[in-house]
Amino acid sequence: MTLSERDQKLGEKAIAEFLNYLGQKVEEKWSWDPAEVKWAQENGFRGPYEKAVPEGQATYDFKNMLADLKEYKGKLTGDGLFYWVFNDAGTVGRKKRERQQ
């Protein structure tokens, strides 16, 4: 039995979402480089994090990062970092992923 390309993509997306839900690193090639995004250090009530606002982000990396985050319901984990989208739907935060025991 072979899967159609559509069914294969749906399956891959479902697996990636499930792994992301579990807090594991999603092994896929991102279409963006977080090093190319302008990050500012911030302190929140849960400790320090970095924030990237859409203003002044003229790169495709920020736009692609935001698109990927929206595709995964506003949250992603990768390379030891947790990424999320703020309520304004344009600002992105990231912080070092702390594993719960």
Dig out the tokens for 93 from the structure: 């935060």
The predicted pLDDT at position 79 comes to 83
Give the pLDDT of residue 1. Answer: 60
The ranges assigned to domains in the chain are: 25-96
CA 48, chain centre distance (Å): 18
pLDDT averages per 10-residue partition of the chain, 101 residues: 76 75 58 92 94 90 92 89 94 85 49
Three-state SS string across the chain, please? CCCCHHHHHHHHHHHHHHHHHHCCCCCCCCCCCHHHCCCEEEEECCEEEEEECCCCCCCHHHHHHHHHHHHCCCEEEECCEEEEECCCCCCEEEEECCCCC
Quote the pLDDT of residue 74: 93
State both tokens at 4: 């159609």
